[in-house]
């Protein structure tokens, strides 16, 4: 039990003993005392004034006196206009550091492998283009949320659903047949996902030309888009694929193979992975079976043109297409099948989909249809909706080729990290191999931190030049802080295995210790909110608190041996906490810089 939980229990007993107010300890809310006041934790007493029949100041003083008498860790209190500020004895903070500083996983709860898992889906790329900046936010958010849930004690399974079939891949396939002249990754020197993406852009260019010609001949725009020869042929190719046409399937397998090899390389560079990968081509048939089940149940209906729909008007939505008139499926079809598979594969207690907020409607519909089909676990579906990533010059468009490619971005970040590190002499003492590893670590730390420090629900503007900086709220600032601490601990040439008996804490030391103390609660709260941003903010605040302590307080030069040992031990504790929190974000921290 930590000091906050213990204080809540004592306050609960005080309210009951002094005023007959029965209140559960967990319903009492303590806050950290504001910096301008003396104290560590604050109780606002105004909610209890009416029942206690006391003025706020009298009430606060009486509760404070009771707590000091009954709880040894509280060494004093003061009252400021109904705000009761408790001061915690240094002995408690010293015992906390002694007990927890050697625990390299402090704040992390370990999962029981037998618990029903939470299944987190992220990435979910289409096989018609390489991963870009938008995918990067998705992958980093999905990975870090998975790590965060695992750190809070959940059994987590990370999955990917590859959208490997559909009109999008048919567009790339058709363009390659028309304009590719047999080009391959080997002959072109391009990564396979880049090559296929090139032909997706090529399709769009020629398609727009056809639409323009049809409109110039008097055809309405919407009709021209439907009747353009390239689009008609792509739709026919999709139908042939679903019918199992050998020629179309062979081309599809070849081009998807190119893409998968490219994706795997990018995933490795990003440091993300999956426990299982699903493919739409393997799940859409199960989705079709569920559509037939819905028709048999009367939950779905078929229109005169043969298309199948779900009427959700009674639920405040509209009618949702599930099968096109030619019998081909849509995204919703395969999502129905995939959800059923995951519950069967894992016995999942929750299905989390990390998908952009433009798909909010899609997941409302998914839950509704699953419920109408009779699946009680439909309410386990949770859409982790996140905002879009934009550039200084606006939104990205894959079909027009105006995207920030993930591989190019990582290359650019590594080069910038190398340039800035050399300028500041951060890697002068490292070997060439160690320097390359450091530059990659800093580049990924900058990229991941810049993206993950933003609340997932918000849109964000990505600016690479702001992300790589050794000062301010950045990944490299925290990474450098960790390296600095590890250098201090190495220079101490001691194992930090002491038990500190008596040290008088200064304000800077106490600020660091109190920040460390909140780590378990921070992880729990961030996991409940699915928000890696809270972890990023914590890591930054801890790094700031440490640097403020480091600048004003001698550590290795401290003459009192007991105090010096405590400060080295505190340094090691901070390093462990930074490594833990940055690890949740998927960010490595260097041992030396």
DSSP letter assigned to residue 470: S
Q: Would strands 319-323 and 350-356 be described as parallel, antiparallel, or unpaired?
A: unpaired
Q: Put the strands of the sheet holding 319-323 in their side by side order.
A: 301-302, 308-311, 319-323
Alpha-carbon 116 to chain mean position? 21
Chain segment 499-517, per-residue pLDDT in tens: 667 788 999 999 999 999 9
Round to whole Å and give the CA distance between 134 and 486: 35
Round to whole Å and give the CA distance between 422 and 415: 11
Residue ranges of the alpha helices (H) in 101-245? 133-151, 167-179, 185-188, 192-216, 221-227, 229-242
Which tokens hold the place of 495? Answer: 């194992």
Q: Does residue 279 sit in helix, strand or coil?
A: strand
The pLDDT of residue 91 is 92
Taking residues 450-474, what's their average pLDDT?
Answer: 87
Grade residue 391 by pLDDT with cuts at 50, 70 and 90.
low
Grade residue 401 by pLDDT with cuts at 50, 70 and 90.
very low
- Mapping DSSP onto H, E and C, the string for 511-537 reads HHHHHHHCHHHHHHHHHHCCCHHHHHH
Which tokens hold the place of 257? Answer: 């193979």
Round to whole Å and give the CA distance between 320 and 188: 43
Of the candidates 161, 176, 125, which has an alpha carbon nearest to the alpha carbon of residue 403?
125
Does the pLDDT value for residue 567 go beyond 90? yes
Taking residues 113-121, what's their average pLDDT?
Answer: 93
Does the pLDDT value for residue 257 go beyond 70? yes
Burial class (CB in 10 A: 0-12, 13-18, 19+), 390: middle
Round to whole Å and give the CA distance between 157 and 142: 11
Round to whole Å and give the CA distance between 371 and 559: 69
Place of tokens 């009954």: 70
The pLDDT of residue 293 is 95
Chain segment 518-555, per-residue pLDDT in tens: 999 999 999 999 999 999 999 999 999 999 999 999 99
Round to whole Å and give the CA distance between 230 and 274: 36
Residue ranges of the alpha helices (H) in 425-531? 432-452, 464-467, 475-492, 507-517, 519-528
Burial class (CB in 10 A: 0-12, 13-18, 19+), 81: exposed
Of the candidates 438, 442, 439, 443, which has an alpha carbon nearest to the alpha carbon of residue 410?
443
Chain segment 300-358, per-residue pLDDT in tens: 999 999 999 999 999 999 999 999 988 888 889 989 999 999 999 999 999 999 999 99
Q: Which residue has the higher pLDDT, 504 or 140?
A: 140
Does the pLDDT value for residue 364 go beyond 90? yes
Which tokens hold the place of 299? Answer: 């939950």
The pLDDT of residue 417 is 86
Give residues with Cβ within 8 angstroms of 344, minimum separation 6. none
The pLDDT of residue 52 is 92
Of the candidates 245, 365, 383, 367, which has an alpha carbon nearest to the alpha carbon of residue 312?
365
Phi-psi category of 429—alpha, beta or left, where left has phi over 0 and alpha has psi -120 to 50?
A: alpha
| CB-based contact 550:593 (threshold 8 Å) | no
Residue ranges of the alpha helices (H) in 347-405? 360-372
Which tokens hold the place of 261? Answer: 């090899």
The pLDDT of residue 497 is 57
Does the pLDDT value for residue 561 go beyond 90? no
Grade residue 92 by pLDDT with cuts at 50, 70 and 90.
very high
Round to whole Å and give the CA distance between 217 and 208: 14
Of the candidates 246, 235, 115, 114, which has an alpha carbon nearest to the alpha carbon of residue 171?
235
Q: Would strands 83-88 and 41-44 be described as parallel, antiparallel, or unpaired?
A: antiparallel
Q: In 10 A of CB 321, how many CB atoms?
A: 15
Enumerate domains of the chain plus CATH numbers: 3-88 (3.30.1360.70), 122-400 (3.40.50.620), 406-584 (1.10.730.10)
Taking residues 120-136, what's their average pLDDT?
Answer: 92
| CB-based contact 34:42 (threshold 8 Å) | yes
Report the number of secondary-structure helices (H) and strands (E) in the chain.
22, 14
Does the pLDDT value for residue 396 go beyond 50? no
CA distances from 337 to 246, 310, 319, 364, 371 (A): 24, 16, 20, 16, 14
Place of tokens 């995939």: 338
């Amino acid at each position: 039990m930590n000091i906050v939980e213990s204080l809540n229990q004592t306050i609960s007993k005080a309210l009951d003993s002094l005023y007959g107010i029965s209140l559960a300890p967990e319903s009492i809310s303590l806050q950290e005392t504001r910096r301008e006041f003396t104290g560590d934790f604050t109780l606002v007493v105004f909610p209890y004034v009416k029942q206690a029949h006391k003025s706020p100041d009298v009430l606060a003083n009486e509760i404070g006196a009771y707590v000091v008498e009954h709880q040894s860790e509280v060494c004093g209190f003061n009252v400021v206009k109904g705000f009761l500020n408790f001061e915690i004895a240094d002995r408690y903070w010293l015992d906390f550091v002694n007990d927890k500083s050697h625990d390299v996983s402090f704040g992390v709860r370990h999962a029981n492998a037998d618990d029903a898992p939470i299944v987190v889906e992220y990435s979910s790329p289409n096989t018609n283009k390489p991963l870009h900046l938008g995918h990067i936010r998705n992958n980093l958010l999905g990975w870090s949320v998975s790590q965060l849930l695992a750190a809070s004690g959940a059994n987590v399974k990370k999955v990917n659903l590859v959208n490997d079939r559909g009109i999008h891949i048919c567009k790339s396939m058709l363009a390659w047949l028309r304009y590719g002249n047999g080009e391959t990754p080997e002959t072109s020197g391009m990564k396979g996902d880049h090559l296929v993406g090139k032909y997706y852009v090529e399709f769009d260019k020629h398609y727009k030309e056809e639409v323009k010609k049809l409109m110039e001949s008097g055809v309405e725009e919407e009709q021209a888009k439907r009747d353009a020869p390239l689009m008609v042929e792509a739709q026919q190719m999709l139908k042939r694929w679903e019918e199992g046409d050998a020629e179309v399937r062979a081309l599809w397998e070849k081009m998807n193979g190119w893409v998968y090899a490219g994706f795997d390389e990018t995933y490795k560079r990003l440091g993300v992975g999956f426990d299982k990968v699903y493919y739409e081509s393997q799940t859409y048939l199960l989705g079709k079976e569920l559509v037939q089940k819905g028709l048999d149940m009367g939950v779905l209906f078929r229109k005169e043109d043969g298309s199948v729909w779900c009427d959700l008007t009674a639920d405040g939505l509209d009618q949702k297409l599930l099968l096109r008139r030619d019998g081909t499926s849509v995204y919703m079809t395969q999502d129905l099948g995939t959800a059923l598979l995951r519950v069967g594969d894992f016995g999942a207690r929750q299905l989390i989909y990390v998908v952009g907020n433009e798909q909010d409607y899609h997941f409302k519909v998914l839950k509704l249809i699953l419920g109408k089909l009779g699946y009680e676990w439909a309410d386990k579906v949770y859409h982790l909706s996140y905002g879009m990533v934009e550039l200084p010059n606006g939104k990205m468009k894959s079909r027009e080729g105006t995207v920030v490619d993930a591989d190019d971005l990582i290359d650019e970040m590594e080069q910038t990290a190398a340039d800035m590190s050399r300028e500041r002499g951060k890697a002068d003492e490292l070997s060439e191999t160690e320097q390359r590893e450091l530059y990659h670590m800093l580049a990924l730390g900058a990229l991941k931190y810049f993206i993950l420090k933003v609340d997932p629900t918000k849109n964000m503007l990505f600016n690479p030049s702001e992300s790589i900086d050794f000062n301010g709220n950045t990944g490299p600032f925290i990474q450098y802080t960790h390296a600095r601490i590890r250098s201090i601990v190495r220079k101490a040439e001691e194992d930090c295995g002491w038990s500190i008996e008596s040290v008088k804490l200064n304000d800077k030391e106490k600020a660091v210790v109190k920040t460390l103390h909140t780590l378990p609660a921070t992880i729990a709260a961030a996991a409940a909110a699915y928000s890696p941003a809270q972890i990023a903010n914590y890591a930054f605040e801890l790094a700031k608190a440490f640097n403020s302590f480091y600048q004003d307080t001698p550590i290795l030069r401290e003459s009192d041996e007991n105090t010096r040992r405590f400060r080295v031990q505190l340094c090691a504790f901070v390093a462990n906490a930074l490594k833990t929190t940055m690890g949740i974000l998927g960010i490595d921290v260097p041992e030396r810089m």
